[in-house]
Amino acid sequence: MNGRPHKQSMSELKLRRLTEHNQRLKEDLARPRIRVSEASASLIRYCKTTKDPLVPSVWGPVARNEDPYAQQSGGGKGCCVIQ
């Protein structure tokens, strides 16, 4: 067998991999970015303004009707509803 077609297919494979990698890099470059200071300020603002029922030491006790994790009073005795 001649080694030439094998070398050509290997070079085509390498070219395809490089082209795909180049495309991914271009997509990463086009992704919108924000500064770390802006992201951290936004996260701090969110944490200060969003009430979390799982942290009652910070937000105080949560009323049962406002707690999404409290067992809902319903027709069944268990916590699950099977339909």
Q: In this structure, which amino acid lies at residue 42?
A: S
56 located within any domain: no
3-state helix, strand, coil in the chain (%, to 5): 55, 0, 45
pLDDT of residue 83: 66
- Write the pLDDT tens digit of every residue in 8-34: 788 899 999 999 999 999 999 999 999
Residue in 15, 46, 72, 45 with CA at minimum distance from that of residue 80 = 72
1 located within any domain: no
pLDDT of residue 55: 81
- Write the pLDDT tens digit of every residue in 41-59: 999 999 888 888 788 888 7
68 contact partners, CB below 8 Å, separation of at least 6: 53
16 located within any domain: yes
32 located within any domain: yes
Residue 20 lies in domain = 10-50
pLDDT of residue 77: 59
How many beta carbons lie within 10 A of that of residue 67, not counting itself? Answer: 14
Average pLDDT of the segment spanning 53-76:
75
2 located within any domain: no
Report how many domains make up the chain.
1
What's the number of CA atoms in the CB half-sphere (13 Å) around residue 43?
7
39 located within any domain: yes
65 located within any domain: no
66 located within any domain: no
